[in-house]
Amino acid sequence: MEFTYRYERQEPQQLKYFLKEQGISKGLLAKIKFQGGKIFVNEQRQNVLYSLVQNDTVTIVIPDEGEHETVLLDETPIEIVYEDQHLLIVNKPAGIASIPAQYHPNGTMANRVKAYYKQQGYQDQVIHVVTRLDRDTSGLMLFAKHGFAHAKLDVQLRQKQLIKKYQAIVAGQIQELTSHGEITYPIARDLSSLLKRKTSLEGKSARTEYWLTKKDQQVALVTILLHTGRTHQIRVHFAAIHCPLLGDELYGGAMDLGIDRQALHCCELDFTHPFSGESLHFEADLPADMASIKQAMSE
C-alpha cells in the first residue's frame, strides 16, 4: 500500500521525524525497511536520515501483511455498514464473539471478516479489531484493514476522539432515572467470579453518561456514552443503580421480559478518517429483539 505526502515547511527536517509526525511508528519503519517496503523522496529511493526541504514529495510503500494463518475461516456473511481501502465497519449480531479464544477458535467476527477478505482477494488479510464488543452485545464494530490504519485509529481511541454510543433497555427502579445523568462508581474485579465485575471504592475510576430516551411502567430505553472503558462498565453501572439490563443474568437483569441476552447495542460511531481527515458518523438500528421491546413500550 502506498501513501504520499508533501513537505511544506521552510526549514529542513530529517525524514524520520517527518514520518513520525504522520503516525509512522518505529515498528512500521522497520517493517518497511526489512520486509520489502520502500521510501521515496521526489521518486528517488532514500533512507530515513535524508533531510527534507520545502515541496519535497515523500512516498512510502508499505509491504502487504498477508494473513494470520492461525485465524480460521467462517464464511457466514457479514453485514457491512461501511468499507473503503483502509476501514471496515460491520453490524455485529448478538451471540457472536469479537475475536477467537483458546477454546473457541472459530465462529467469531474476526473469523467471518477474514473469510470475507479472502473471498475479496485482498492482499492484507490480517485482522485488526479497533473496537470490540462483548459476545451478547450487538452493533457497530470497527476494523482497520492494515496496521498503519490501526495505529492511527488507536491514537484516536487513546485521545477519546473515537466516540461510541450505545442503547440499552433496563428494568428495576427506572422511576429513579433522570432525563440525563451520570454514573461514576469505580469498578473492580469480583473475586467470586472469573467474569464478573463490581463497584468498589478500591476499583478503577469509571464514568457512564446516559440519556433517558423512552420508558413505560416496566422498562426504559437509555442512550449511553462511555467516558471510560472498563470491562462490563455499562452492565455494572446500571446494576449498581438498581436498573440492570434486561436479559443480563450475570448482573441480575430480568429474564422474563422478552430477551435472553443483555439488551445492549452499539448504535453510533463517530471518528475522523485516519487518512482523509473527514468526520465520519455511522448508525445501526436496534436489532429485532430490542426493537420489539421498544415498540411495545407505551408512550
Domain boundaries, the chain: 2-61, 64-159, 164-266
Based on the residue annotation, tell me whether 134 is a catalytic residue of this protein.
yes
For position 237, what pLDDT does the model report? 98
For position 58, what pLDDT does the model report? 97
Q: Which residue positions in the chain have pLDDT lower than 70?
A: 298-299
The single residue listed with the C-alpha cell 420508558 is: 215
Which CATH number applies to 2-61?
Answer: 3.10.290
CA angle 31, 73, 87 (to 5 degrees): 50
How far is Cα 117 from Cα 130, in angstroms, rounded to an integer? Answer: 16
* 178 in Cβ contact with 210 (< 8 Å): no
Same fold yes or no, 2-61 and 164-266: no
For position 102, what pLDDT does the model report? 87
Which CATH number applies to 64-159?
Answer: 3.30.2350.10
For position 27, what pLDDT does the model report? 87
N- to C-terminal Cα distance for the chain? 52
Q: What tens digit of pLDDT does each residue of 217-233 get? A: 999 999 999 999 999 99
For position 70, what pLDDT does the model report? 87
For position 131, what pLDDT does the model report? 96
Q: Which one of the listed residues 56, 134, 248, 289 is annotated catalytic? A: 134
For position 298, what pLDDT does the model report? 67
Pick 164-266's CATH classification: 3.40.1390.40, 3.60.10.10, 3.40.50.2000, 3.30.2350.10. Answer: 3.30.2350.10
